[in-house]
Amino acid sequence: MNLEGKTVLITGAGRGIGRGLAVAFARAGCAIAATARSESELTGTAEQVQAQGQRALAIPCDVTDAEAVQAMVEQALEALGPIDILINNAGYAKFEPIHAADPAAWRRTLDVNLTGPFNCIQAVLPSMMARRSGRIINISSLAGLKPYPSQGAYCASKHGLNGLTKVLAMEMREHNIGVHAICPGGLDTKLTQENMPERDKSDWMTPEDVAHAALYLAGLSPRATTDEIVLRRFDSAPLGG
């Protein structure tokens, strides 16, 4: 499906995977509503979208705040028109073993990675359901499919996000709205730089690799769908391998 003229709302779009998604969808002809908390990072993303000749709206917002999310979505709808694609990408991680985990970090991880997508989905769905059209892509993780020691809160949040994705996909069938998850392995971004400083990330995936998978989902024919894309580093083992 041609994505020219579509409008995409991307959370966590200030840097890393979110910025890569914004630029890739702009290159495919889409207008971009970019949100995250850091205004300066969003401005950088908006400039890169505009450099592709596309409209960009940068709206600072904390996805854990349901009221703020509602206002952010209303602003995007007013400025750019109907949102065709929501990409829930904002994420947080603090890697630590469960027995020693900081309860505040546990709550924040679930708030950002699970309640954040829930808030954005609730805010965007009424307009998608009214139009009987739309797509929701949740950026999950391999940690949503298998356990990683020291990633208890992160694994729990991403397993939860995969559950939310599957239930919503069933509920939205009759409303003609596609719901998908992408489960990537390691990329070199601030999230992994802060949590895995000791690892050599030189051959890890890039935001463009995730964007490629998201463009595939967004461009699916109306007759076919796929629930989940597992995207792992080429030299990693297959799931169960």
Binding to ligand NAP, residues 121-180 (CB under 6 A): 139, 141
Closest to ligand NAP by CB, 60 or 82: 60
Task: Give the tokens for residue 31.
Answer: 């207008």
Q: Which of 32, 36, 153, 218 binds ligand NAP (CB under 6 A)?
A: 36
Out of 1, 38, 146, 208, the residue judged to bind ligand NAP by CB under 6 A:
38
CB of 84 vs ligand NAP, minimal distance in Å: 21
Report the residue number, 92 or 95, with the smaller CB distance to ligand NAP.
Answer: 92
Contact segment (CB under 6 A) with ligand NAP among 2-10, 30-38, 47-55, 122-130 equals: 30-38
Is residue 64 within 8 Å of 116, Cβ to Cβ?
yes
- Please name the residues in contact with 89: beta carbons below 8 A apart, sequence gap of 6 or more: 10, 11, 12, 13, 17, 18, 21, 139
Residue 55 or residue 209: which is nearer to ligand NAP going by CB? 209
Using CB under 6 A, which residues numbered 85 to 124 contact ligand NAP?
Answer: 89-92, 112
Q: Residues 146, 190, 206, 236: which binds ligand NAP (CB under 6 A)?
A: 190
Known catalytic membership, residue 216: no
Residues annotated as catalytic (active site), given as ranges:
154
